[in-house]
């Protein structure tokens, strides 16, 4: 249950305060030139301490490849890798050893396994996503050869949202702001909103929008593994995610069929649709238009405020944690959303090779 | 890619106008008494022609079991079953043989496979969900022995929505109205809204809310197969679904962490949470509270209005389909949502047996 | 656990005396022209009552396709099919209802499931292999387009064996004799040997040799799913099989490395090996030479002689079954061995498409 | 394709001369006390340089756990581990960079992947089995709690074989001799036979017998995943294996049904069979008797003799490798056979928990 994908498969391991976070990528085609700079760049985008609005923990997060790469190229054999844990202050967690933090996984892990690594959330820590970012960066290189690009950005923080549809934004400028919103004016408000939350020892949630370009018509599977079902599954598997919608999404429920249908039209480049309420996917299969979706993130559960809760002995306790935490996960979640989307699409790219003999 | 589940696995087959729709359930435990009345009742709830607000096609949809059941009990061997197709009027579809209907899967199937059964949408028809309802009804019986119940209802049709949270509604009365909304006053408005759409030859979308009770703490998997990720994957695999959210969902992005966190409290029946923004799932694992989620359905693509589109030769054509279609899929989708949720939970129920030796 | 294959996947259902035996083939590429004559021919080769040395039960075993085929071609959607049970005389089995027949699966099914369909062995009957023969015949058509052929024959019945290596035999003449041994002189002795066993109410085992030609270098997976491991797994999953060896097999243990190694040589058609002790597979991957292997079948457990045994209440009983049974399964097992080999190779053929992007 | 198992899953990575060999164990139940001494002991039994009849390479092969273990117990989360490569002399392999060694995987890897790590066989090296031995040792601890033990020994080296059936041998004394044959007299001859091969720069094959005790009736799956099919698949996935047989095996083909059938008898401890030709498995499911099987290993392909072959440019070359190699893999393969059997049985042990609700 720690494996993601069918053809291009990532299996991850690691706890927040264990030796490190790593994984095995199986099913990666051979002869892909590994661009370690690109991989490291994605890790940097996910890394704590990257800006004033993220946690100030300093973790270098350098990936070390253990197998599957020879003379800079993938071999077709499994790619083992690890990012060693460095800046853990496990002592910080001794106080929380017997406590179930509200809206964390402490209680549910204990009920499921009867044992848990309480240090920094153990396996439930979002630090596990490091492995996904590494694998996603490799998937990105494969997709790049297929002409596919995945770009995510923050479209909402708390009540601050950008009114612009993705087509009105310059998506090449996402990393221009530390909040990863390409709408500059809104970005400033978002940063202020996050700083306000941080100042109050509180946290704030938001929405990430993701756009996928260049997928040809014909990727996806028609029944259970619809392309959007696989994307939704991938997104809902990211820590703190509460919702997923693609194309017209929840708002589309307000339209009539005649308003919602995307009319096919001819253009120089072939068949297109006049509108794109479908979000680039019809019947679970890509239709050649842009794929876009939105992912809702709850406010982080770790707050720097007093909270009542219970301990493992069912006693009432009050916690008041200190430490270095993210007031808002979204800036660091952007590369994670992209990574998961890259994994899904690479899987469907490879699966599409099986559509004929 | 036509298999759903890991332990309790459903593989489906069938096209809308082929011989029938069926499947194989593998991994069903032995010695479950099959309640064929219950299975048939779920099929009746999904069946066309059940009320004035669904398509008037009359399909009896009786399930025939082909294996795996002996003297009324499951044997532990695979359960094969089929619902024969009866009321197909394939001739109706000859006009559409070469046409890509807007927002249907005609075009994408053709691009993926280079061949398609154009009659009634072939495999892309929601008729495929018959197999899910059969399997879901068996799963429901298993869950019933575990004390778990899954109930879905319509909470929104177009712009008509019930203001009540599920806890304010009597969920035992869902089937009292043909629109499967337990809020009687709103139900009447929803029926009128659907009839209005039907009168205009148009269609309307909406939202189904689903509530799961009785799941003990400890079901689910912490990383990719979080309980809500599996539920979301299941829902997004249903025809016409555009979005999924659980617990606080998209609205939860507007709250601060201190507002969103669910505080643990003691009660006579054990550990509980004061609020349930988490939707019964923390870190991907059930915490013993109610699980609830919402599913967005787009308006059906088949409308009884003129529409421009293209044919397989890339020529512009105008279609104006007649026939018997659903102005709103939601009343018939309620048992499908329940079926998929039952499949997911049965899988996790069985997986939970592996948490210790 | 009733699914075979990773890309080209067969899931089977059915009991010997239930409604029928069938399955779903998922992952079959689209646009394969289904040659129903070829499929039926393979079923004829497996069918009871085909000659004097097989059981005299008469079962027509006609396959009915339920989905996935349109205008005679595969659609890329799952192919459902069934062979209805016809000539079952379930009454014959009432005496055996509570008895554990020696070396059958009666006892072990009961211990595993706590319930069993005792009629004709239920799911443990070799009648289940009908579904494999149907799927294997489709796989054969796919492989035929890839230039690959699978041929099996009987090389030993009891102590009667052909001394000739497969290269000395005319494998196009296997079906010339009812015992499916292309070595005519030995075939006659085998037939006599089987008739002798039948006359004594006893049974006899033997060995099937299988030869695969035309597989290019590069199919297979290097670690767990070595091509021969997948073939061995497939063969050991056939009823009554007790052993599998490929290439030099058990005899190869008597050679030294210098005798066993296959020296690479150039030929007009490319790289070859001087000898083929490797059986066409090195490091789990095909090397372009013929693949060949041998499969050992035990004598059938159903004998027409008195035997002591126990019943479900742990009481001693004596059984003396009548009925129509095979004195030797091997003639009818030849198409089953071929079918399973065709399934394995089709899977690896499709997997080989993933070796590059 | 580098994952083994369904519930208790091992995914491996690593090349012979890369950073190390490791893996991830997923699906291991929580709260198993990890006996690192036992794990290390199994690695010692597999390790090069352990005696005069194995390769003299010195590799310490210490396992380092990276995750999934907390305070000495498994957590239920994935167990990552690595054994770092130490004693590689990669320079030794520069001469073989462009050469296809006879009966090695050099040629087939090149044809499959178009790239290969030529150093020490890369991924095709039996060094990969280190990961299996680690995982197998953990599986062994789980089985031990279920009362199951797996013991393997060498029953044949070249033409030297022990005439004794396993029941006549003291299986607790297998490690008393460096050749791991509990029949002392035969063991001496085997050692001499291996030393003779080594003296000639040649290699020798043989057979390993494996005995599994304590499996209760009811483990296994009846169709494709018969218990012996899973065991055979596991064994055929070990480097240099050419054949697998269980119970009466190939010799059983010489018996009549009346001789081969195992009669059920009552005993104090319950139902048993008088004989055990079935090898403890009937219809793919364990019947409570001992499970036993035999595995054929070819002589190692690496010999210290001149051999003609081809290089990557299709030119004839002569190789005459030096280096430190095993004249016979069997003594070191005993723990590998045991490890793979432990993995298969642990999987079926866990699967058996799903036989009822």
Query: Which residue from D29, D222, D355 is facing B357, i.e. has the nearest CB?
Result: D29
Whether B317 and chain A come into contact, CB under 8 Å, resolves to: no
* pLDDT score of D82 more than 70: yes
Q: Which pairing describes strands D73-74 and B79-84: parallel, antiparallel, or unpaired?
A: unpaired
Residues across chain B: 357
Q: Which domain holds residue C260?
A: 3-355
* pLDDT score of C139 more than 80: yes
Q: Is B98 helix (H, G, I), strand (E, B) or coil?
A: coil
Quick one: closest CA in D to C326, which residue? D257
Whether B145 and chain D come into contact, CB under 8 Å, resolves to: yes
Q: How far apart are CA B135 and CA B28, in angstroms?
A: 10
Query: Which residue from C203, C224, C308 is facing D4, i.e. has the nearest CB?
Result: C224
Over range C80-84, report the average pLDDT: 98
Q: How far apart are CA C257 and CA D204, in angstroms?
A: 6
Cα separations (Å) of C310 from A195, A330, D218, D271, D307? Answer: 78, 67, 17, 8, 60
Cα separations (Å) of C214 from C148, C219, C265, D325? Answer: 4, 11, 18, 34
* Residue A226 φ/ψ region, left for φ over 0, alpha for ψ in the -120 to 50 degree band, beta for the rest: beta
Whether B146 and chain A come into contact, CB under 8 Å, resolves to: no
Q: How far apart are CA C6 and CA B357, in angstroms?
A: 29
Whether B263 and chain D come into contact, CB under 8 Å, resolves to: no
Query: Which residue from A145, A353, A355 is facing C76, i.e. has the nearest CB?
Result: A355
Digit-coded pLDDT (tens) for B93-126: 777 889 999 999 999 999 999 999 998 889 999 9
**Which residues of A are less than 8 Å from B113 in CB distance?**
355
Q: Which pairing describes strands D307-311 and D99-100: parallel, antiparallel, or unpaired?
A: antiparallel
* E-assigned strand segments in chain B: 3-4, 9-14, 20-26, 63-65, 69-70, 73-74, 79-84, 99-100, 149-157, 160-161, 206-213, 241-246, 264-267, 270-273, 281-282, 285-286, 291-297, 307-311, 316-319
Which of A63, A67, A119, A125 best probes binding to D when mutated, by most D CB atoms within 10 angstroms? A67
Query: Inter-chain contact D244–C242, Cβ cutoff 8 Å?
Result: no
Query: Inter-chain contact B354–D353, Cβ cutoff 8 Å?
Result: yes
Query: Inter-chain contact C27–A354, Cβ cutoff 8 Å?
Result: yes
Summary mean pLDDT of chain D: 95
Q: Is B153 helix (H, G, I), strand (E, B) or coil?
A: strand
* pLDDT score of D59 more than 80: no
Q: How far apart are CA A250 and CA A231, in angstroms?
A: 16
How far is the alpha carbon of A31 from chain B, nearest alpha carbon, in Å?
Answer: 27
Q: How far apart are CA B137 and CA D340, in angstroms?
A: 39
pLDDT at B157: 98
In chain C, how many domains are there? Answer: 1
* E-assigned strand segments in chain A: 3-4, 9-13, 20-26, 63-65, 69-70, 73-74, 79-84, 99-100, 149-157, 160-161, 206-213, 241-246, 264-267, 270-273, 281-282, 285-286, 291-297, 307-311, 316-319
Whether C121 and chain B come into contact, CB under 8 Å, resolves to: no
Residue (of C345, C347, C337) closest to C42 by Cα position: C337
Cα separations (Å) of C235 from C13, C105, C132, C294? Answer: 19, 18, 12, 9
* Residue B183 φ/ψ region, left for φ over 0, alpha for ψ in the -120 to 50 degree band, beta for the rest: beta
Q: Which pLDDT band holds residue D88 (cuts at 50, 70, 90)?
A: low
Query: Inter-chain contact A254–B220, Cβ cutoff 8 Å?
Result: no
Q: How far apart are CA A43 and CA A36, in angstroms?
A: 11
Whether C320 and chain A come into contact, CB under 8 Å, resolves to: no
Q: How far apart are CA C301 and CA C99, in angstroms?
A: 14
pLDDT at D122: 93
Local structure of residue C204 (DSSP, 8 states):
B
Query: Inter-chain contact B283–A108, Cβ cutoff 8 Å?
Result: yes
Whether B286 and chain A come into contact, CB under 8 Å, resolves to: yes
**Which residues of D are less than 8 Å from A122 in CB distance?**
70, 75, 77
Whether A355 and chain B come into contact, CB under 8 Å, resolves to: yes
Quick one: closest CA in C to A75, which residue? C355
Whether D268 and chain C come into contact, CB under 8 Å, resolves to: no
Chains that touch B (3 or more CB pairs under 8 A): A, C, D
* pLDDT score of C229 more than 70: yes
Whether B182 and chain C come into contact, CB under 8 Å, resolves to: no
Digit-coded pLDDT (tens) for A295-321: 999 999 999 999 999 999 999 999 987
Quick one: closest CA in A to B1, which residue? A225
CB B241 within 8 A of CB B235: yes
Q: Is B83 helix (H, G, I), strand (E, B) or coil?
A: strand
Query: What is the per-residue DSSP string for A29-69?
Result: PTTPBP-HHHHHHHHHHH-TTSSTTS--------EEE-SSE
Whether A195 and chain D come into contact, CB under 8 Å, resolves to: no
Residue (of B283, B151, B262, B272) closest to B212 by Cα position: B151
Instruction: Supply φ then ψ for residue D273, to 5 degrees.
Output: -115, 145
Over range C121-126, report the average pLDDT: 93
* E-assigned strand segments in B181-287: 206-213, 241-246, 264-267, 270-273, 281-282, 285-286
**Which residues of C are less than 8 Å from A76 in CB distance?**
355
Query: Inter-chain contact B30–D355, Cβ cutoff 8 Å?
Result: yes
Query: Inter-chain contact C298–D156, Cβ cutoff 8 Å?
Result: no
Surface-to-core class of residue A233, CB atoms within 10 Å of its CB (0-12 exposed, 13-18 middle, 19+ buried):
buried
pLDDT at C88: 64
Digit-coded pLDDT (tens) for D129-171: 999 999 999 999 999 999 999 999 999 999 999 999 999 999 9
Question: What is the token pair recorded at B305?
Answer: 């209005």
**Which residues of A are less than 8 Å from C353 in CB distance?**
353-354
pLDDT at D48: 87
Whether A139 and chain C come into contact, CB under 8 Å, resolves to: no
CB B226 within 8 A of CB A237: yes
Longest CA pairwise span in chain D (Å): 70
Q: Name the residue with tokens 């779920």.
A: B42
**Which residues of A are less than 8 Å from C77 in CB distance?**
222
Q: Which pLDDT band holds residue C301 (cuts at 50, 70, 90)?
A: very high
* Residue A301 φ/ψ region, left for φ over 0, alpha for ψ in the -120 to 50 degree band, beta for the rest: alpha
Q: What is the CA radius of gyration of chain D?
A: 21
Question: What is the token pair recorded at B100?
Answer: 């890509």
Pick out chain A residues at pLDDT < 70: 87-92
pLDDT at B240: 97
pTM: predicted TM-score of the whole model, two decimal places: 0.97
Q: Which pLDDT band holds residue B319 (cuts at 50, 70, 90)?
A: very high
Over range C267-291, report the average pLDDT: 95
Digit-coded pLDDT (tens) for C323-355: 778 999 999 999 999 999 999 999 999 999 999
Residues 6 or more apart in contact with residue A177 via CB below 8 angstroms? A184, A187, A188, A191
CB B273 within 8 A of CB A229: no
* ∠ Cα B260 B265 B268 (to 5°): 140
How far is the alpha carbon of C239 from chain D, nearest alpha carbon, in Å?
Answer: 7
Q: How far apart are CA D286 and CA D230, in angstroms?
A: 12
Whether A224 and chain C come into contact, CB under 8 Å, resolves to: no
Instruction: Supply φ then ψ for residue D348, to 5 degrees.
Output: -75, -30
Digit-coded pLDDT (tens) for B14-63: 999 999 999 999 999 999 999 999 999 999 999 988 888 888 777 789 99
How far is the alpha carbon of A277 from chain C, nearest alpha carbon, in Å?
Answer: 26
* pLDDT score of C124 more than 90: yes
Q: Name the residue with tokens 């129509």.
A: C324
pLDDT at B87: 66
The CATH number given to whatever domain includes residue D325 is 3.60.150.10
CB D203 within 8 A of CB C250: no
Q: What percent of chain D has pLDDT above 90?
A: 88
Q: How far apart are CA D89 and CA A357, in angstroms?
A: 43
How far is the alpha carbon of D116 from chain B, nearest alpha carbon, in Å?
Answer: 32
Question: What is the token pair recorded at B281?
Answer: 């799932």
Q: Is A140 helix (H, G, I), strand (E, B) or coil?
A: helix
Q: How far apart are CA C304 and CA C309, in angstroms?
A: 14
For chains B and D, count residue pairs whose Cβ atoms are closer than 8 Å: 39
Whether B128 and chain C come into contact, CB under 8 Å, resolves to: no
Whether A18 and chain B come into contact, CB under 8 Å, resolves to: no
pLDDT at D56: 78
Query: Inter-chain contact D223–C237, Cβ cutoff 8 Å?
Result: yes
* pLDDT score of B89 more than 70: no
Digit-coded pLDDT (tens) for D227-277: 999 999 999 999 999 999 999 999 999 999 999 999 999 988 889 999 999
Whether C224 and chain A come into contact, CB under 8 Å, resolves to: no
Query: Which residue from D77, D142, D357 is facing B145, i.e. has the nearest CB?
Result: D357
Whether ipTM tops 0.95, in short, is: yes
**SS3 per residue for B319-349:** ECCCCCCCCCCHHHHHHHHHHHHHHHHHHHH
How far is the alpha carbon of D224 from chain C, nearest alpha carbon, in Å?
Answer: 5
CB A263 within 8 A of CB A210: no
Paired strand residues for B22:
B13, B82
Element housing C351 (H / E): helix C330-352
Q: What percent of chain B has pLDDT above 70?
A: 98
Query: Inter-chain contact B30–C1, Cβ cutoff 8 Å?
Result: no
Q: Is A268 helix (H, G, I), strand (E, B) or coil?
A: coil
- Classify each residue of B78-100 as buried b or exposed e, where b means 16 or more C-beta atoms within 10 Å of its C-beta: bbbbbbbbeebeeeebeebeebb
* pLDDT score of C150 more than 70: yes
């Amino acid at each position: 249950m720690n494996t993601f994908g069918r053809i291009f498969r990532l299996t991850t391991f690691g706890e927040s305060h264990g030796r490190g976070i790593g994984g095995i990528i199986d099913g990666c085609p051979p002869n892909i030139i590994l661009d370690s700079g690109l991989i490291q760049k994605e890790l940097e985008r996910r890394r704590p301490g990257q800006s004033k609005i993220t946690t100030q923990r300093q973790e270098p997060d350098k990936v070390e490849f253990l197998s599957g790469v020879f003379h800079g190229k993938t071999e077709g054999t499994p790619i083992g890798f690890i990012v060693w844990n460095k800046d853990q202050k496990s002592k910080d967690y001794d106080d929380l050893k017997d406590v179930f933090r509200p809206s964390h996984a402490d209680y549910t892990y204990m009920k499921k396994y009867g044992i848990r690594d309480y240090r920094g959330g153990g396996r439930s820590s979002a630090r596990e996503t490091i492995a996904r970012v590494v694998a996603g960066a490799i998937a990105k290189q494969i997709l790049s050869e297929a002409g596919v690009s995945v770009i995510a950005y923050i479209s909402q923080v708390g009540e601050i949202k950008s009114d612009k549809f993705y087509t009105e934004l310059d998506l090449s400028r996402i990393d221009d702001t530390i909040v990863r919103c390409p709408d500059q004016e809104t970005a400033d408000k978002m940063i202020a909103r996050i700083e306000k939350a941080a100042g109050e020892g509180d946290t704030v949630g938001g929405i990430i929008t993701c756009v996928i370009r260049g997928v040809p018509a014909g990727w996806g599977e028609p029944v259970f593994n619809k392309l959007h079902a696989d994307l939704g599954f991938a997104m809902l598997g990211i820590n703190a995610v509460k919702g997923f919608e693609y194309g017209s999404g929840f708002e589309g429920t307000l339209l009539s069929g005649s308003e919602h249908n995307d009319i096919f039209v001819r253009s120089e480049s072939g068949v297109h649709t006049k509108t794109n309420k479908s979000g680039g996917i019809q019947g679970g299969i890509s239709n050649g238009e842009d794929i876009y979706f939105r992912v809702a993130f709850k406010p982080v559960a770790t707050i720097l405020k007093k909270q009542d809760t219970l301990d493992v002995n069912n006693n009432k306790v009050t916690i008041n944690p200190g430490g270095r935490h993210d007031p808002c996960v979204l800036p660091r979640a952007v590369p994670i959303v992209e990574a998961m989307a890259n994994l899904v699409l690479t899987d469907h790219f490879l699966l599409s090779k099986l559509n004929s003999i």
